[in-house]
Structure 1
């Protein structure tokens, strides 16, 4: 029994001395419960909307006040023309637009019926349905309130219009997200594991003493995965068009160019992981846990980023999949050109350059 207790004490000492083990045991559960607790919610909050108030009367102002007081919406701006609404949707700045027609209050008071228009970005059908439901409830609550005070059955009828995805299909939301997830996992994990495998088997030393420079050695390992990933992109797009009936509304060449950039970004991340790790198991663990979860949580295709606390929103900005997801939706679903997502493209280029520079500086010519 005494020897058994000594062995237990020894194992405790091993665990407590190993900081990596302690981080996995205690740090990971804390981080996961915080991230999942704040990020995993289907409730939509702080959705940015624009309002075009052509009536500018007491009824429209009271409804706008109720919307402003709601935690579900954030009024980005008040606009004055339909062209401004279209521009705001194309830029991706808003999720919903509310339009009050002229004589709104007059129609409500005298005819006991008034209409207004609600336009939602249905490229994410779940969010569009939820937001139109929220705003319809606010409008109905206002109509019910004034009906109670006057005993007259006032009715406000919202005319709801869904942009980009009138049928509210799920494919326009999930295809771009799946593309980002598949490319991220394949490129990062396979590149990291293939390079680390050379370290473990000892062949990396042979490659480093060959006439090729270290840069060429690394690039030669990444190019096959670039080509295979482009094949993956092609297969996903073919399935989307011919099986899921999801047309590509924008430029196919531009979509492939942006996909190539994202693949290169993922490859540089895989190279960075391979430089920092020495075993395939560790490289695979970091690739899966470090890339898959952030892509699912912070890219925006499963959970709205604006719902999350500000620190998590800031973290989402360093996730390449977030920017690629926006780009693919703009090209495939909205049919927009490069001018709509040049900022996202520059961010991907910046991440690629930074990761490549760090990887090359950290790469050891001599392996210990």
Structure 2
């Protein structure tokens, strides 16, 4: 064990002597958290919503049909009470809840005014704003349809409430996304490069004849990146909380444990990349092209997954970043506990085990 700690300490010294490595490790998080602070609004289709119809008359049913008639909304749940709204949001699939009060049709035609409440998950403020605008437009068209040629128009008033992010701060969107992107790139890319460098320089064979077994050598090389990646996570969290007012409503211990799990997943992916590459440049290109673009495009960081074609939605499920972003938003914005995030955590555990198992087997085959 003493040999292992000496080997790991040597890797720390090697990292701190390389200014380019330090620039990537600590410069990239600060730069990216500033660059990605701009909100991007995109068209959304097939967003899953829930409906609480307390009226259940002819006119409320027609309104529900209007909402799901186009390609913007897909009604996933029909709620039975106000108490079910919070639970629906916590499940993570529902982006908006439409609440229709009792006696909707009677209020519309007799009082010349009816109310509809729109509740949106503002963890992603751009998506929430877009969905509210879509719903308002559909309700407005439905109102004109009911008015017909009448001189005295009847109105449907919509009240809006943004859940989890009432001020619609875009920072609540990009802090989890940037944190995920940085941890993935730093952990996976730097790990793949450092092992590929040993192969390219011909020093991996020298390490393999040392008393340490191959698995211990790989572990010793990635331990520094585990520590540094975790420090990066703390830096990004600190900047989000102290500079931008990002809340952490859930357990900070659970949040840090999930960060550690995602770091391990990313390291496992980096080791896997290093086992199939022999040069640093190849490892870097594989990490950048294979991780950066898919993470930005398919994880839900910028572009809503719900609006993508079915093949891309299916492909997004194999992206570790997608599941980690869901975990971060649930814990930080919704105050969710392990009971709500355990499915995503289980997916990351399975991916970690898969990456590490394949990497160890391929590493032994290639370097035995």
Equivalences, count: 329
Residue 214 of structure 2 corresponds to 214
Unaligned runs of 5+ in 1: 1-39
Alpha-carbon contact 1:205-1:366 (below 8 Å) kept: no
Q: Shift in Å at residue 246 of structure 1? A: 1.1
Change (3 A) 1:223 1:103: same
Residue 234 of structure 1 corresponds to 234
TM-score, normalization by structure 2: 0.87
Residue aligned with 2:275, SS: helix
Q: Shift in Å at residue 150 of structure 1? A: 2.9
Residue 252 of structure 1 corresponds to 252
- Counterpart mapping for 1:53-92 below 5 A: 53-92=53-92
Change (3 A) 1:279 1:55: same
1:23-72 Cα offsets, whole Å, 9 max, x none, are xxxxxxxxxxxxxxxxx981110011111111111221111111121110
Change (3 A) 1:142 1:209: same
Alpha-carbon contact 1:187-1:270 (below 8 Å) kept: yes
Residue 281 of structure 2 corresponds to 281
Residue 301 of structure 1 corresponds to 301
Alpha-carbon contact 1:47-1:72 (below 8 Å) kept: yes
Residue 147 of structure 2 corresponds to 147
CA RMSD of aligned residues (A): 1.3
Residue 359 of structure 1 corresponds to 359
Change (3 A) 1:332 1:90: same
1:324 maps onto 2:320 in alignment: no
- Cα distance in structure 1, aligned partners of 2:164 and 2:44: 20
1:233-257 Cα offsets, whole Å, 9 max, x none, are 1111111111001121111111110
1:98-129 Cα offsets, whole Å, 9 max, x none, are 11111111111012111111100000000000
Q: Shift in Å at residue 366 of structure 1? A: 6.5
Residue aligned with 1:167, SS: coil
- Cα distance in structure 1, aligned partners of 2:90 and 2:285: 38
Change (3 A) 1:106 1:349: same
Q: Shift in Å at residue 149 of structure 1? A: 3.3
Alpha-carbon contact 1:192-1:283 (below 8 Å) kept: yes
- Counterpart mapping for 1:42-191 below 5 A: 42-191=42-191
- Cα distance in structure 1, aligned partners of 2:76 and 2:217: 50
Query: Larger C-alpha radius of gyration, 1 or 2?
Result: 1
- Cα distance in structure 2, aligned partners of 1:276 and 1:339: 37
Q: Shift in Å at residue 365 of structure 1? A: 6.3
Residue 12 of structure 1 corresponds to none
Alpha-carbon contact 2:214-2:364 (below 8 Å) kept: no
Change (3 A) 1:113 1:365: closer
Runs of 4+ in 1 over 3 A off after TM superposition: 364-368
- Cα distance in structure 1, aligned partners of 2:247 and 2:145: 45
Residue aligned with 1:363, SS: helix
Alpha-carbon contact 1:50-1:79 (below 8 Å) kept: yes
Alpha-carbon contact 1:187-1:263 (below 8 Å) kept: yes
TM-score, normalization by structure 1: 0.87
Unaligned runs of 5+ in 2: 1-39
Change (3 A) 1:367 1:356: closer
Q: Shift in Å at residue 152 of structure 1? A: 2.7
1:346 maps onto 2:346 in alignment: yes
- Cα distance in structure 2, aligned partners of 1:276 and 1:43: 38
